[in-house]
Structure 1
Amino acid sequence: GCDASILLNDTSTIVSEQGALPNNNTIRGLDVVNRIKTALESACPKTVSCADILALAAEISSVL
């Protein structure tokens, strides 16, 4: 979603957008974002938002 909720994983109480039919084969590169998300959450637990993660992932993975 526009609020980076695509990064939320399934839990016992929510179904993630990652597996939603409209997202099939359209969220390529999510594995890279998930690795960056894991590293950020490890370094800054319960501090970094999904939008922050996407911004940092875009910066880290971009080469000009």
Structure 2
Amino acid sequence: HALTGEVPLAAVSYGTEAGLYQAAGFDAIICGPGDIDRAHKPDEYIFADELAACQRLIEALGARCAT
């Protein structure tokens, strides 16, 4: 929320290692450009504005972690 001003809530049907990191006491963030409904299938794609938004998020996260 502090980085984007949004509070996205979603349930997804894929897995990541984030739960393992959290179980070990580390914070975990799962993020990336695009819509999950278009991801991980033939002809997946993202829009240029989604890539730009992801870049802004990663830059803001990096700046926040650097302070």
TM-score (norm 2): 0.33
Higher Rg = 2
Q: Which one has the bigger helix percentage?
A: 1
TM-score (norm 1): 0.34
Q: Relative CO higher for 1 or 2, CA cutoff 8 Å, sep ≥ 6?
A: 1
